[in-house]
A and B are shown apart, each in its own frame.
Chain A
Amino acid sequence: MNIIIVGCGKVGHTLAQQLGGENHDIVVVDKNPERVHGITDELDAQGIIGNGVSYQTLQEAGVEKADLLIAVTASDEQNLLCCCIARQAGHCKTIARVRNPIYNEEITFLRDKLGLDLVINPELITANEIARIFQFPSAVKIDTFSKGRLELIHFRVTKECLLCGIELMHLKESLGFNVLIPLVTRGEEIIIPRGNFVFEEGDIASVVTTPQTATMFFRKIGFTSGRTRTAMLVGGGTISYYLAQRLLSAGINTKIVEIDENVCNELSEKLPDAVVIHGDGTDEKLLLQEGLEKADGFVALTGLDEENILLSLLAKKLGNSKSVCKINRINFNSLLGEIKVDTTVFPRLLTADLIIKYARSMNDSLGSNVENLYRLEDGKAEALEFFVKEASGVTDIPLAKLKMKKDINICSITRGSQVIFPTGNDVIKVGDYVVVVMKHLGMKDIKDILL
């Protein structure tokens, strides 16, 4: 496909990297020459310097022949206008990033009237992701499939937990029931575990379950995390606002610490149920005073990545809370695994994942649709959910007889309301949702799992 990316910031760069890696032809547009060169020097993409809202610039970028335009500049208005112009100038699908909460409330209206195909709000996505983790504090990260009927839960193996030191094939005996663990991360290495695999302390294991069995599984292996009742948010930005909304509606007692008085006032106006505290979030005393030790959840959402990391380390040390850290900019993922922050969220990557999922499902000619896509471990592995539209080489053949590529794990098949954790005798049928975890990247069709 021909894809135009307007705006070469963090997300633009990540998108160019990912989509370029999936064999799309990328043209990037930005007003700032340095940013454009930053991409074209590193990636195989064409750069156009100019304002993406201008028809002439878009024409230069080849909007007439483009299949998809993604507007991710810093300004919402520019993004919306850029998509409108692109729609009139060509026949491409358009994706706009819109982050202002005011627009967000009218997003369906905007999307329909302006003819956008997808509107992305990174802050909202991030808030949702964090809220989801709080529903299940034992997890590092939760990816949902089949409209929430199925979850891929990533969690850290601790010394106390039942898994530590056990072989995968003996797991069923110890637990009393069967679960599927399709993927384990050890340090920077990604392992698709076989039967003789032994779990070690510090591994991040990923388990595929339904939400009901998840609770049972975690109780069984020795995670005794109760419900999250209290949460502390440091930093009162847009993510905090969305997150507090969600947490409050789930009945979680939420405190927000924010340094700017005006922002505090505004938050207090919009969130009457939240406790808004005006003060410096990096002040240890203040945090202790506000009960950091007793908080079940702690989220560092300030504008500085370094501050966020330190804050969540502090929370981990002082209290026994689940600490979440938001990282916008820095790229030391290899290092983050070693520090003991429970969960790190990257708004940049979450946004990119969603757009890439959309780009992959755009190809209508294939026999299956990409319904969900999650990139795991810095993009070294992927979890994909396919909807099987038509019969192909993979349908109606027992899985044991399929000649599949290495390092692929078929995790589940959802047929109607029934979720199947497949064994060798199960078959994939037309109309199924299939979740696959693998170390191969960029698959667009379920058939791609075959050799």
Chain B
Amino acid sequence: MNFTMVSYIIGWILQIEAAFLLLPAIVGFCYGEGNKSFVFIVTALASFLLGLIIKLKKPKTHDLYTREGFATVAIGWIAMSIVGAVPFFATGEIPNFVDALFESVSGFTTTGGSILNDVEALSHACVFWRSFTHWIGGMGVFVFIMAIFPIMGGYSINLMRAESTGPAVGKLVPRVQKTALILYALYLGLTIIGCVVYIICGMNFFEAVTTIFGTVGTGGYGVLNTSITSYNPAIQWAITIFMILSGINYSVYFCLIRRQFKDAFSISEVKWYLGIILVSTAIIAFDIRGLYAPADSIRHAAFQVGSIITTTGFSTADFDLWPMLSKSVLVLLMFCGACSGSTGGGMKISRWLIMAKTIRKELSTMIHPRQVKKIHMDGHVVEHETVRATNVYLASYFFIMLISVVLISVDNLDFTTNFTGVVAMLNNIGPGLGLVGPTGNFSIFGTFSKIVLIFDMLAGRLELFPMLIILNPACWKKY
């Protein structure tokens, strides 16, 4: 393993984060919270210097093979989360460091599950930083680095693979740097448009900015204790639409901008995604028709479906009180996840499509034992490697989930809470059911359980393997 190169990149991460930390400092000054801003500036400075020291040792070769790529991303995210937790802790707004780390990881991984009982008590700087971590984590900080500094040449694809979502990560254009730039341009574009729409719908500027960070990053940190419940219907519809837009594969937008409309609308994953949203909304709206007025039930159903399938985690109603059918559909959607190549988390629809097709293929081979059959998607053959990786992904996913459920059972909470809590963390959603439902939060868990959940969040965001590989001792051997 090329340790110097790995630490060199980690150095970059810390320096970039230092730059990001200055934004909440500015916000703090705007709202007259000078002492909070001071904490952010000191953290930024420390992070910058630490990065500088780590970077002192220049790597001899820039080789970064798959294992280095995966390990770098995993360590980078852990380092980033720890630094991100410092301001929460140092300002004294989250007095326990593990809690602060939980909040920071939950932010960066775009989970949005909080340990705070009272969000409104936080300073503006901290609230801003909390939401801003969603935005950074949504598209990914390594993608950001690649967009600005072309430091790794061809090997950077190994970093991109580890950080981006979906079973087969590809490039939009031949160059990694250009691909990263395009992704961030689209991301920024969506953010700005969303922000303007929110303001037009009646949000104030600060809330619009922080909410849009949570929306496009598919994060889910609200600014108010009631999440999105207290906003007017227009805002709720706007958020619904932007959540769903954020869950779409970004190559769709790329095709649209290039005017390749046929290509944009022919991606089967996106069709399924929109189809699932429509059907689930219809089922839930019908199921909860007795609880709300007809227009409201459609709005709540659409919002909740959009929020869960994109793994955002905002809420407009306490769906824990909804009938069983609706709750079951929502739990199913938790597993479903958004499109690959989006900022959303979860299993990703393309993986489910591949697995469904594998099952069909298996059944077909039982009828015709000598049949040769390839799995197709969007007119291309899905390579065996991808199919295999998808199967292994599913297996690892359920392993991690089941073990986590067992581990956090030490806190002796009820099964619904434990199970949906882990599902919500591993899929980067935020709220689950029971005690961790929309009105609850994760402060009920003990320190050990929180650490388990922190691992789950990181594993979920990085799609398991980067986090698993650093647990494998063979990864750390030099030879």
Which chain A residues have a beta carbon within 8 Å of chain B's beta carbons? 2, 20, 25-27, 33, 40-46, 49
Q: Are B173 and A44 in contact (CB under 8 A)?
A: no
Kindly list chain A residues whose C-beta atoms are within 8 Å of the C-beta of B178: 25
Question: In the complex, A40→B174 CA distance in Å?
Answer: 10
B166-183 near A? 1/0 per residue, CB < 8 Å: 000011011111100000
Given contacts A43-B154, A45-B154, A25 and B383 within 8 Å (CB-CB): no
25 residue pairs A–B, Cβ–Cβ below 8 Å: A2-B174, A20-B154, A25-B174, A25-B175, A26-B174, A27-B174, A33-B383, A40-B157, A41-B66, A41-B154, A41-B157, A41-B158, A42-B154, A42-B155, A43-B153, A43-B154, A44-B153, A44-B154, A44-B156, A44-B176, A45-B154, A46-B170, A46-B171, A46-B174, A49-B380
Question: In the complex, A25→B177 CA distance in Å?
Answer: 11
Q: Are B173 and A25 in contact (CB under 8 A)?
A: yes
Query: Which of B154, B155, B176 has its CB near the most chain A CB atoms (within 10 A)?
Result: B154
Kindly list chain A residues whose C-beta atoms are within 8 Å of the C-beta of B175: 25, 44
Kindly list chain B residues whose C-beta atoms are within 8 Å of the C-beta of A2: 174
Give min CB distance, A368 to chain B, whole Å: 27
Give min CB distance, A39 to chain B, whole Å: 9
Q: Are A45 and B383 in contact (CB under 8 A)?
A: no
Main secondary structure, interface of A, reads mixed
With CB as the reference atom, state the residue of chain B lying closest to A3. B174
Q: Are B157 and A44 in contact (CB under 8 A)?
A: yes
Cβ contact of B174, chosen from A41, A42, A45, cutoff 8 A: A45
Kindly list chain A residues whose C-beta atoms are within 8 Å of the C-beta of B156: 44
Give min CB distance, B85 to chain A, whole Å: 34
With CB as the reference atom, state the residue of chain A lying closest to B383. A33
With CB as the reference atom, state the residue of chain B lying closest to A28. B174
Give min CB distance, B436 to chain A, whole Å: 41
Give min CB distance, B28 to chain A, whole Å: 40
Question: In the complex, A40→B155 CA distance in Å?
Answer: 9
* Interface size band for B: 10 to 19
With CB as the reference atom, state the residue of chain B lying closest to A45. B174
Kindly list chain A residues whose C-beta atoms are within 8 Å of the C-beta of B158: 41
Kindly list chain A residues whose C-beta atoms are within 8 Å of the C-beta of B174: 2, 25-27, 44-46
Kindly list chain A residues whose C-beta atoms are within 8 Å of the C-beta of B383: 33
Query: Quick one: which of B392-445 are within 8 Å of A by CB?
Result: none
Give min CB distance, A22 to chain B, whole Å: 13
- Count of A-B contacts with CB under 8 A? 33
Kindly list chain A residues whose C-beta atoms are within 8 Å of the C-beta of B66: 41
With CB as the reference atom, state the residue of chain A lying closest to B156. A44
Kindly list chain A residues whose C-beta atoms are within 8 Å of the C-beta of B176: 44
Question: In the complex, A297→B40 CA distance in Å?
Answer: 75
Question: In the complex, A27→B174 CA distance in Å?
Answer: 6
Give min CB distance, B50 to chain A, whole Å: 29
Question: In the complex, A113→B384 CA distance in Å?
Answer: 43
Kindly list chain B residues whose C-beta atoms are within 8 Å of the C-beta of A45: 154, 174
With CB as the reference atom, state the residue of chain B lying closest to A41. B157
Give min CB distance, A291 to chain B, whole Å: 49
Give min CB distance, A78 to chain B, whole Å: 21
Question: In the complex, A26→B157 CA distance in Å?
Answer: 14
B133-168 near A? 1/0 per residue, CB < 8 Å: 000000000000000000001111110000000000
Kindly list chain B residues whose C-beta atoms are within 8 Å of the C-beta of A20: 154
Question: In the complex, A20→B155 CA distance in Å?
Answer: 13
Q: Are A46 and B173 in contact (CB under 8 A)?
A: yes
Kindly list chain B residues whose C-beta atoms are within 8 Å of the C-beta of A43: 153-154
Give min CB distance, A50 to chain B, whole Å: 9
With CB as the reference atom, state the residue of chain A lying closest to B153. A44
Give min CB distance, B230 to chain A, whole Å: 47
Give min CB distance, A166 to chain B, whole Å: 35
Question: In the complex, A49→B380 CA distance in Å?
Answer: 9
Give min CB distance, A31 to chain B, whole Å: 12
Kindly list chain B residues whose C-beta atoms are within 8 Å of the C-beta of A44: 153-154, 156-157, 174-177
Question: In the complex, A45→B173 CA distance in Å?
Answer: 9
Kindly list chain A residues whose C-beta atoms are within 8 Å of the C-beta of B171: 46
Question: In the complex, A26→B153 CA distance in Å?
Answer: 13
Kindly list chain A residues whose C-beta atoms are within 8 Å of the C-beta of B154: 20, 41-45
Question: In the complex, A2→B174 CA distance in Å?
Answer: 9
B54-67 near A? 1/0 per residue, CB < 8 Å: 00000000000010
Give min CB distance, A5 to chain B, whole Å: 11
Question: In the complex, A43→B174 CA distance in Å?
Answer: 10
Question: In the complex, A50→B17 CA distance in Å?
Answer: 41
With CB as the reference atom, state the residue of chain A lying closest to B150. A44
Give min CB distance, A158 to chain B, whole Å: 34
Question: In the complex, A27→B173 CA distance in Å?
Answer: 9
With CB as the reference atom, state the residue of chain B lying closest to A4. B174
With CB as the reference atom, state the residue of chain B lying closest to A40. B157
Question: In the complex, A42→B174 CA distance in Å?
Answer: 13
Kindly list chain A residues whose C-beta atoms are within 8 Å of the C-beta of B177: 44
Closest 5 CB pairs of A and B: A43-B154, A46-B174, A25-B174, A44-B154, A46-B171
Question: In the complex, A20→B153 CA distance in Å?
Answer: 10
Give min CB distance, B153 to chain A, whole Å: 6
Give min CB distance, A302 to chain B, whole Å: 33
With CB as the reference atom, state the residue of chain A lying closest to B172. A46
With CB as the reference atom, state the residue of chain B lying closest to A27. B174
Question: In the complex, A20→B171 CA distance in Å?
Answer: 15
Question: In the complex, A41→B66 CA distance in Å?
Answer: 9
Give min CB distance, B72 to chain A, whole Å: 16
Question: In the complex, A45→B177 CA distance in Å?
Answer: 11
Question: In the complex, A385→B369 CA distance in Å?
Answer: 64
With CB as the reference atom, state the residue of chain B lying closest to A61. B174
Give min CB distance, B212 to chain A, whole Å: 32
With CB as the reference atom, state the residue of chain B lying closest to A20. B154
Kindly list chain B residues whose C-beta atoms are within 8 Å of the C-beta of A46: 170-171, 173-174
Question: In the complex, A40→B156 CA distance in Å?
Answer: 11
Kindly list chain B residues whose C-beta atoms are within 8 Å of the C-beta of A25: 173-175, 178
Kindly list chain B residues whose C-beta atoms are within 8 Å of the C-beta of A41: 66, 154, 157-158
Question: In the complex, A382→B155 CA distance in Å?
Answer: 25
Kindly list chain A residues whose C-beta atoms are within 8 Å of the C-beta of B170: 46
Query: Which of A2, A42, A44, A46 has its CB near the most chain B CB atoms (within 10 A)?
Result: A44
Kindly list chain A residues whose C-beta atoms are within 8 Å of the C-beta of B380: 49
Question: In the complex, A449→B421 CA distance in Å?
Answer: 63
Give min CB distance, A84 to chain B, whole Å: 24
Besides A41-B154, A46-B170, 15 other A-B contacts (C-beta < 8 A): A2-B174, A25-B173, A25-B174, A25-B175, A25-B178, A27-B174, A42-B154, A42-B155, A43-B153, A43-B154, A44-B156, A44-B157, A44-B176, A45-B174, A46-B173
Kindly list chain B residues whose C-beta atoms are within 8 Å of the C-beta of A33: 383
B432-467 near A? 1/0 per residue, CB < 8 Å: 000000000000000000000000000000000000
